[in-house]
A and B are shown apart, each in its own frame.
Chain A
C-alpha cells in the first residue's frame, strides 16, 4: 500500500481543486452562469485552503487557523450556492455573508470559551460534517427532481465527506486521535485515497450535470423551433385555404349566374340551326330565338360589368385635396401597426402647401396601401425605416415612399398590374392594381422601383391644383 502522509494528500487535493475547476470553467465558458461561477470559486477556495493548510500546519501564526477554516467554510458555502442555484432556489448574497460572519464569530467564541485546539477542531469538523451532509442531500434532491446523473456523483462525494468528518469528530471526542492526525491510523490510507479522488469525482460530476443541462436545453429549443415551424406552416395553409375558399365562392357564384344565359344561348343556337336546316323555315320562330339570344347575351354582358364594378372601386366625390392632410391621415391610420412592428417613419414635407384635385378617401387608400406594403416588407428586417417625401415638381406633385427592405422581387415587378396576383398569404392581390387604377383616375401615375441602395421606392405622381 502506498504510504501517504497528511500533507501529501492535502497538496494533491489542493492542486486538483485549483486545476479542475479552472478546466471546468474553460470547457463551460459558453454556458457560464451564477451556478458555475459559484462552483469554480468553491473549488478554488478548497484548493487554496488545502495548500495553505500544507504551508501553515501546524498553525504557524495566530489567526492562521481562522483564515484556513474560514476559507474551507466559504468553499462549502459556495457549493451550497451552486446546488441551490441549480435547484432554482438560489440563496441570497446577504445570507452567504451572514453565514460567514456567524462562522467566524462562533469560531472565535470557542477560542475564548474553551481555549483548546481540540475543542475548536471538534467544532469546525462538526460544522463541516453537517454542511457537507446538507449539500450532499441537496444534490440528491436535484437528482430526484430532474434525473440528472451528475447530481448523484456530487451528492455521493459530499455525503462521504460529511460521514468522514463525523468519524473524525467522534474520534477526536473519544480521544482516539490527536488534533494533529486526520483519522485513526487504521483507515487513514483509505481516507487519504478517498480525499485524493474526491475532487475528481466532484468536478466531473458537475461537468456531467452541466453538459446534460446543455443537451436538454438544446432538445427543448429544437422542439420549440419545430413547433413554431409546424404552427407557421399550418397558419400558411389555413390562410391559403381561406383565400382559395373565398375565390372559389366568388367563382362559383359568377359561374352560376352566367350559366343561365349561356344555357339559353346554347340551346337557342342549336334550335336555330335545326330550324334553318328544315325545309319549312319559320320566320316567327327564328325571330323569337334571336330575341332570346339578344336578351341573354345582354344579360351575360351586364353580369360581367357588375363583377367588374364590384372589383373596381366606385368613384367618390372629387374636391381640392391638401396633400399634407392626406399624408397625415394615412400616417395616423398606419401608426399603431408601424409602432408595434418597430418601424421608424419620417416625413419630409415641402414647405409650401401642395394641393391636387381628387378624392381624399381614394388617395388616402392608395397611400395606406403603399405604407402597408412597406410595413409588410420590413416586418422581418433588421433595419426598419420608411421615408415619405412630398416634392413640388413645378407642374405636378410627387409623393415618394421609400423603405429599407429588400425591394421588390423580380416576380412582383413583372406582375404589378395583374389583378389577383399576390405574394402575400392573406391578400387578394388587388391592392396594387386598385392603387394604380385610382392613380390613373386622378390623371396621375403610380410607379415602382428598386433603389440602388436596396429597398423599394413607390412614386405617386398627381397633377397640381393651383
Chain B
C-alpha cells in the first residue's frame, strides 16, 4: 500500500519545509496553496500515522529548516499523541491547530513543548509568522545540537588528568584552588588549562564554561 502522501512541492526552498497533517483535504489544499505562494516547501499528510510512516524515509529534511503543522482532532493518532511521538523521534517544532479545543487540550499541548497553538479559522499572516518562528527555532535547535555533538567528541580526547581538572573548572574553582586541591604547582594547572582550551577549541574562559554547561545539560536529558 502506497503511503497516503497527499501533496508536496520539491523540497528546495531555502525558507524551509512544513509538514502538514490534517484529515480534512480542503484544509491541506488551502494550506498548501498558502505555503507555496510564500515560497515554502511542504509535504501534506491526511493522518499522523502516514506522516510517521514516511518520516523515516525522508532525507530531504537534512540541512533544511523544518516544522510540523497539525490538526488536534483527528481519528486514530491525534495531535497530542503526535507531539508525544515527535518528541521521542526528533526535535521538530510542532504547531497545533484546532477549531474546538478544551482549555485542557491547550494546557496539555504546551506542557508537552508544543511550539504554538492556533485556533481555526486562523489569520493567514498570523499562521505564516508562527511558521517562520518555528523554522528559525528549528535552525537554532540544530546548531545547538551540532555544538553538543562536536563538543562531546572533543571532550573525549582529554586525558584523565585533564578530565579531573575540567570538572573542577566546571565547579567554578580558580586555578589556585585546583592546584592546592590536587597538591600540584599552579603553573602545572595553567598548562593543563591551556591544553584543555585548545582541545575543546574555545577562545575564552566564558566560552569554555558555556560549552561545559551545555554538555552537562544535554547529558542530564
- Spell out A's residues near B (CB within 8 Å): 252, 255-256, 259-268, 270-271, 274-275, 285, 288-289, 292, 295-296, 299
Decide if the interface of chain B is mainly helix, strand, loop or mixed.
helix
Q: Which residues of A contact B124 (CB under 8 A)?
A: 267, 270-271, 274
Which residue of B30, B37, B100, B125 contacts A264 across the interface (Cβ within 8 Å)?
B30
A264 engages B26 (CB within 8 Å):
yes
Q: Does B33 belong to the interface (CB within 8 Å)?
A: yes
How many Å from the CB of B205 to the closest CB on chain A?
51
The 5 closest A-B pairs by CB, nearest first: A259-B99, A263-B121, A266-B121, A263-B120, A270-B124
B123 contacts A by Cβ under 8 Å: yes
- Which residues of A are found within 8 Å of B31, using beta-carbon distances? 267
Instruction: Please provide the chain B residues from 104 to 140 with a CB less than 8 Å away from any CB of chain A in the complex.
Output: 120-125
Q: Assess whether A271 is in contact with B30, with CB atoms less than 8 Å apart.
A: yes
- Across the interface, name the chain B residue whose C-beta is closest to A261: B26
Chain A, interface SS category: helix
- Does residue B87 face the partner (Cβ distance < 8 Å to A)? no
What are 6 inter-chain pairs, A to B, with CB distance below 8 A?
A266-B121, A270-B123, A270-B125, A285-B37, A288-B33, A299-B26
A296 and B120 contact, Cβ closer than 8 Å, known pairs A256-B99, A289-B33: no
Which chain B positions have C-beta within 8 A of A267?
Answer: 30-31, 34, 121-122, 124
Which residue of chain B has the shortest Cβ distance to A289 in the bound complex?
B33
Of A263, A289, A295, the most chain B CB neighbours within 10 A belong to: A263
In the bound complex, CA of A271 to CA of B24 (Å): 19
Chain B residues, Cβ within 8 Å of A270: 123-125
Q: Are B27 and A263 in contact (CB under 8 A)?
A: yes
A292/B29 in contact, CB under 8 A: yes
Give Cα A364–Cα B124 distance, bound, in whole angstroms.
54
Report the nearest A residue to B26, measured CB to CB. Answer: A264
Task: Report the interface size for chain B: residues with CB under 8 A from the other chain.
Answer: 18
A261 to B121, CA, bound (A): 9
- Separation of A11 and B26 alpha carbons in the complex (Å): 110
Q: How far is the CA of A255 from the CA of B121 in the complex (A)?
A: 12
Expressed in whole angstroms, the Cα–Cα distance for A261 and B33 within the complex equals 16
One of B26, B73, B120, B125 near A292 (C-beta < 8 A): B26
CA A292 – CA B37 in complex, angstroms? 16
Beta-carbon nearest neighbor of A295 in chain B = B26
Q: A292-B26, A295-B26, A296-B26 are in contact. Are A259 and B121 (CB under 8 A)?
A: yes
* Nearest CB of B to A319, in Å: 44
Nearest-Cβ distance from residue B71 to partner chain A, whole angstroms: 9
Given contact pairs A259-B100, A263-B99, A271-B37, enumerate 7 new A-B contacts (beta carbons under 8 Å). A255-B100, A259-B99, A259-B120, A263-B122, A267-B34, A271-B34, A271-B124
A residues in contact with B26, CB < 8 Å: 260-261, 264, 292, 295-296, 299
When the two chains form their complex, are residues B100 and A271 in contact, meaning their CB atoms are under 8 A apart? no
* Residues of A with C-beta under 8 A to B120: 259-260, 263
Cα–Cα, bound, A275→B73 (Å): 30
Kindly list chain B residues whose C-beta atoms are within 8 Å of the C-beta of A268. Answer: 30, 33
Q: Chain B residues near A256: list those with CB within 8 A.
A: 73, 99-100
- Least CB distance, B7 to chain A, in whole angstroms: 11
B1-43, CB under 8 A of A: which get 1 and which 0? 0000000000000000000000010110111011001000000
Q: Is the Cβ of A264 less than 8 Å from the Cβ of B33?
A: no
Instruction: Give Cα A268–Cα B124 distance, bound, in whole angstroms.
Output: 9
